[in-house]
Amino acid sequence: MIALFVSAFITLFVVIDPPGCAPIYASLTRGVSPAHRRAMALRAVAIAAVILLLFALWGKQLLHTLGIELNSFRIAGGIMLFMIALDMVFEKRTQRREDRAQKMIEAHEVEDVSVFPMAMPMIAGPGTITTVMLLMARAEGLEERLVVLGAIGANLALMIGALFSAGALMAVLGQKIEAVITRLLGVLLAALAVQFVIDGLQANFR
């Protein structure tokens, strides 16, 4: 179970990327009081938690209703995660997040960013939802599903910590170190994405 938790935790950490969201949140909430900033961070993570929990528990039923096979979703999800991994390796994902944040700042929409863009799509975006559903699909039995849910909760707790200490975190890491970490995690995510595709293909041809 420890191995499952570590695997799920690392996978979600790479996709959710708390250190990467922190500087974006810092720029979006520039000039906002510390109390308001903390309240928005809590609200954003709470909303994202509800979204991820819904897809974790009932995502499979949703696929069934839409007539989508789970193995097909594994393959599609793996391809999506691989594209995210490529963006991380070549730093395109970070650039898009920064561009989105800049547009919000220029539009003077910094009063409340908890729902958009923080909860969705930055925390509970398509990649995160896909990953949660894939991890829950691979989990067997109630115990393993609870382990995956625990990994989700641990990452969301880290996200709260990262958003609370966004300014200090950026001062410690710096842009160069953050870029190195992002690329390394992108390589790991690419390998995992390929494994998801392989699992889906093998299941289809059994």
Among residues of the chain, what percentage have pLDDT more than 90?
29
- Number of C-beta neighbours around residue 115 at 10 A: 13
H or E element that contains 111: none
Confidence (pLDDT) at 94: 60
- For the chain, the structural domain boundaries read 2-14+35-204
Give the predicted TM-score (pTM) of the model.
0.74
The mean pLDDT of 168-191, rounded to a whole number, is 71
Residue 103: pLDDT band by 50, 70, 90 thresholds? Answer: low
Q: What digits encode the pLDDT tens for the residues 5-46?
A: 999 999 999 889 888 788 778 767 776 788 888 999 999 999
The answer, yes or no, to whether residue 155 has pLDDT greater than 90, is yes
b vs e for 68-95, b when ≥16 Cβ sit within 10 Å of the residue's Cβ?
A: eebbebbbbbbbbbbebbebbbeeebbe
pLDDT band with cut points at 50, 70 and 90 for residue 140: confident
Name the least confident of 5-14, 24-33, 156-165, 168-177. Answer: 168-177
Distance CA 75, CA 70 (A): 9
Q: What is the pLDDT of residues 48-74, one digit of tens each?
A: 999 999 999 998 888 888 888 878 877
- pLDDT band for position 187 (cuts 50, 70, 90): confident
Task: Judge whether residue 111 has pLDDT over 60.
Answer: no
Longest Cα separation, the chain: 58
